[in-house]
Amino acid sequence: MRTPPRVLASLVAAGTAVASLALLALVAGASPLDALRSLAAGSLGSRAALGETLVRSTGLVLTAMAGCLALKAGVLNIGLEGQFLAGAAAAAAAGAALPAAPLPTRFLVLAAAAAAGALWVVPAALLAEKREVPEVLSTILLNLVAATAVSGLVRGALRDPAGDYPQSRPLPDAVRLGPLLAGSRATAAFLFAFAAAAGLAILLAATPLGLKLRAIGLSPKAARAIGLPRARLRLLAFAASGALAGLAGGLEVLAVTGRLYDPFSAGVGYSGLAAALLGQAQPVPSAAAALVLAALGAGSSAMQRDTGVPAALASLVPGVVVLTVLAARARAARSAP
């Protein structure tokens, strides 16, 4: 019996990840078995370790969902990192300026983050529609603009006058999300992220809007022939993708950091896009891939401490896995009848 393509892709990804980690451990002069054991313990071996994995998964899952939504509609949104940063900046600005009323302020902070992420895609969407500038180019350039803007804001308009380090004013403690369990940094933010993944899966699979978005992504000519407003739907998908990435940045401020600083993101948007590619733009598999990448990031520090394998080497694994899976899919597509 032939193995289903998605199962095969998952097996290839898992095998590549393990092989890559083992090879990197050997290069670093450590035992591959000890490195893998330490990685597992550092990501899942205790309440604190599991909490760290869940904390990291929040931004990755939401940016992965942003990538899924864009890819399903045929939009190559490479600017998730910039939209994440735009959302974080808006959340930091709004949270520090609003009163310390937990529920209303949290809602407004997240609304500001989502709006900032959605607005950050507008230049790329307009350039693609009016000037036929590829969104791959414009969105990746907007990532650089967002990083520069964050650097300027924490040294200028948003800088905390009470601190020496370039960072924004802190959000009030009453507004920030607290840990769900003692001894863990995990907050309700990760529940929100996985609920968003479930909601997106339902929207794409079981609603008329989801069918329309998938139609313009699968066959733009056929969608145009049956009268679907392709430009409007693409803009909707683009803006919603940016809003999800902006929400990820807002939750990072609200639940983890409490403020904005420079540099703020460790490639969350790029890793989320990698998870979306690994999950073939399907929300549930992409969320699972994001959780695995979060565990890899959380466990890499323990691996470095226990075995001497540099944590930076673990950051190479997602890229190797993505390239391997994409190559396997390309080969399968060529050999298909």
How much is the pLDDT for 203?
97
Q: What pLDDT, on a 0 to 100 scale, did the predictor assign at position 242?
A: 98
CA separation for the pair 80, 241 (Å, rounded): 8
Residue type, position 303, single letter: M
pLDDT score at 337: 59
pLDDT (0 to 100) of residue 113:
98
DSSP character string of 273-320: HHHHHHTTT-HHHHHHHHHHHHHHHHHHHHHHHHH---HHHHTHHHHH
Crossing angle for the helix pair 268-278 and 47-72, to the nearest 10 degrees: 70
What pLDDT score was predicted for residue 310? 79
Name residues of the chain where pLDDT drops below 50: 1
pLDDT in tens, 29-69: 878 888 888 888 989 989 999 999 999 999 999 999 999 99
- Please classify residue 312 by burial: count the beta carbons closer than 10 Å to its beta carbon, then call 0-12 exposed, 13-18 middle and 19+ buried: exposed
Would you state the pLDDT for residue 206? 95
Could you give the CA distance from residue 277 to residue 192 in angstroms, rounded to a whole number?
22
Which alpha helices (H) appear in the chain, and where do they start and end? 5-27, 32-44, 47-72, 80-97, 102-120, 122-130, 135-155, 189-206, 208-218, 220-225, 230-252, 268-278, 283-307, 311-314, 316-335
pLDDT at 232: 94
The domain locations on the chain are: 72-199+219-265
CA atoms of 331 and 316, how far apart (whole Å) = 23
CB 220 within 8 A of CB 87: no
